[in-house]
A and B are shown apart, each in its own frame.
Chain A
Amino acid sequence: MPKRRDIEKILIIGSGPIVIGQACEFDYSGTQACKALKEEGYQVVLLNSNPATIMTDPEFADSTYIEPITVEVLEKVIARERPQACLPTLGGQTGLNVAFEAAKRGILDTYKVELIGANREAIARAEDRKLFKLTMEKAGIPLPRSRTVYSLKEAKEALEFVGLPCVVRPAFTLGGTGGGIAYNIEEFKSIVKRGIDASLIGEVLIEEYLEGWKEFELEVMRDKKDNVVIICSIENFDPMGIHTGDSITVAPAQTLTDIEYQRMRIYAIRAIRAIGVETGGSNIQFAINPKDGRIVIIEMNPRVSRSSALASKATGFPIAKIAAKLAIGLTVDEIPNDITKETPASFEPTIDYCVVKIPRFTFEKFPKADPTLNTSMKSVGEIMAIGRTFKEALLKGIRALEIGKYGLEPMIDKEKLPLAEVIEKVKQNLIVPNAKRIFYIADAFRLGFKVEEIEKLTHIDKWFLNNIKELVDFEEKLKKEKKLTLPTLRKAKELGFSDIYLGKVLQISPEKIRRLREKEKIFAVYKLVDTCAGEFEAYTPYYYSTYECECEARVSQRKKVMILGGGPNRIGQGIEFDYCCVHAAFALREEGIEVIMVNCNPETVSTDYDTSDKLYFEPITLEDVLNIVRKESPWGVILQFGGQTPLNLALGLEKEKVNILGTKAKYIDIGEDRDKFRSLLLKLGLKQPESGIAKSLEEAKKIAFQIGFPVLVRPSYVLGGRAMEIVYDLETLEGFVKEALEYSINQTILIDKFLEDAIEVDVDLIGDGENFVIGGILEHIEEAGIHSGDSAMCLPPFSLSKEIIDKIREASYALARELNIVGLMNLQLAVKNRSIFILEVNPRASRTVPFVSKAIGVPLAKLAAKVMIGNTLKQLGFTKEIVPPYRCVKESVFPFNRFLGVDIILGPEMKSTGEVMGIDFDFGRAYLKSQLGASQNLPKGGNVFISVRDKDKKGIIPVAKR
């Protein structure tokens, strides 16, 4: 079918700020969609409030609105742009909900905007639990026993039919907010109440709890001619009851016979037809009873999702891109498969490797949150690992997580506790699903648990468990043999063991193992992700490593630069860094350099095979990176853009004589090492809050008394303010110092005088080693002491005097000059009593780079990448700071609704997951927009209740009067 000619302009709605359950996967899908539609000759209008996205870069749409994603704003955008169609299925639940609401209110009809992909009826059928059930029943698809209710009274009646334990699922929410499993009537009542509140339409579903059932997902695509194909099957390692976003998942499905898989496939095809998703992708979840094979459908997302991003990366089939093309009327047989070129997109990918996704949690940021995993999603990021076996992929995945584990490391020391206690602890951690369960499973095998016992406690399929057992058995054998023979080393590498973990097990250094491997030529080889298991020639260089006989990497003789990505999203290191990596890739490609991207985060644009010349989907560890360096011999490696992850490899890479581009490692070290940094400030005559450096608790106490409380305690070399605290007394000091020492790499902590009532400022700067230009000066709205990642900020400053701003400029340039900045630098400082105090300097891309770039209209990360390969700022035409005539406000969004019982007070430890941007000529309006974008609905009138501590009462009076 030819593409539609009755449409010229299409509106795409993004997903807004990064929150738990809705992360940068929607930037990936949105960016693909924008590109695909423009490629087909359509005008694209984009609405998204998140500045840290690639899709909101000016070149991806014809007009981009960085505005709050609300129905009101949507209407204004539509009225102004008059698009003929709106594609709502690529912006996650946020985009879908807003489009649905606009359709319901008749706005789309008024302006004659057609919903393409999924229309209002289809969205309702998939999202409204009752309608969904009805539709599935009609289509002959089995469902769990359930009933929809709108009140507690109805819920209690439903319980008689469904029985306890049961699941409560609110309709129209994101990532399962407000839902839960009820085991008794008290829990039941409270969850139902919460669920009714959380639901946009006050509706919840009471459903049979499929405890211990296996969970599967299928990614399905349909076109206008009703052709339906399955892109990928996913089997959850964790059983039903754990949100799929929090589950370890595996592609393809591992434990289904062909008949069972085909049945599920047919149900999925029937479901997408019955729901009426006209074109595009859907994610459909199923549960199977492992005892008798009974299959039921759980839910369906009539849009691209986190799983479809995963499926795209897992198979090489770009779901969002194809979905966009199907939405404008093309059919699957008319679209070529990018990877094989000669075959069409009308096929089902088949893979010849195993993919494991592991979620990344940050419970350490929320010590009071309940770390039990359930139907409400709690993870903040994920990694994907590809291996030729499940075992290899799993071990790669564990080290990709960056949680300080390089294998199935023991959680408990058998020697330290009585055996009975050890067994009890392990059992508890098997029964209660938690982020570390995979490690406890390995411990259980070490303690002699049988596969069947663990299966009973965890409901995890014994196929997965036995694979873990094989890894543990091998490790135990290795320990007993105590020496590393060549065949054993080869076997270990084939199984997926890292050098570090092998070293730990055998008590030898990883370097030694590396040298041995080099001597014996045990090298990683690279295989292609090609959608077709090798049946056709593939043209897209998307690789993963394994230890086998044939290497397929096509190494060119071009000048190559390798960019290390940021790994899994976490609080403190998220989409902003991926944004910078992507920009670096675009910039270097423009310069004719071959770009090699290394990353393991499936949600990102950086791991789209389109972004770079070559993609290595690998963990960012020294071993994995050096393996690629050995194969590719790049001219240089860029560490500056991926956040702390690549920077942590700087020393190791330098030792191996890898050419690190940008600011030299010794200057990076000055910025990171508090001692060296203090000397530098002294030299420049810059002030710093009174401070001291401690390597022990005793030293810390001494310093605290010297400079006086309150003090700020922080470790060296961390990101996102891990273990950073403001301390007001001695007792609290002891606790925090202990923790901070644990998190610091070099066991050094800095104790600062905490500046009360100061204004904090961030500066982003770019330099070419000789010339330096400020990208932006951002004034924090919250006072100093709140982590800069959590604070709202305004560019340009709204309350600072010219004199202060000039002082800030001077200090920034002086520091940049001293540190010989080549690339980006971020400076944090505080203003108190007309003096400025330098807080810290980071010689790398910061979280605020995308925001600043959007605010001033200059792609800083791109320029920085070009500078790093030898261009000067003069050549690039960026020689003068740009101060925009309007105000840009960045506001953070927080995951507190996910972590019940967690203190919502902000501090020096970062807690936010994402950000939004509000732009206006007036500061107040810009701030209001940022609040709306962050879903903080401010009332237009009413009374104000103000409560402050005594100390602040004087300060609040003028504010209250206004």
Chain B
Amino acid sequence: MADDQLIPIAADVDVVTARQRGRDLAAEAGFSSGDQTVIAAAISEIARNILMYAKRGEVALSVVTNGDRQGVVIVARDQGPGIRDVSRALEDGYSTSGGLGLGLPGARRLMDDFDVSSSVGKGTTVTMKKWRRMNA
């Protein structure tokens, strides 16, 4: 279960694969079906961001344990154009692509931990986590 899964993102079908693998991993780790859906939706948004802005990249999925908590960790990386203003990109309704502007802020609301690091011309990495308390 500690195996990291790496899903290359280069076409819209990869977005579906990434969110399905994420859901499966969350199910294996004992997340509720509600949380599985939330995780899948967040992966869908950030994987689509990769396609839209960077054309290609990858999504890495893993499970970590921290004390009595277990978490699904999703890392989305690309070597795309980067985000000039990360705090702006996290505002609702802000979009440079003509989309709904819900991708990043929406995914952030769905997950417990959310971090974006980006440098212009080099690429973007989004790291997000969802936690659950393990049964005593």
Whether both chains belong to one complex is answered with no
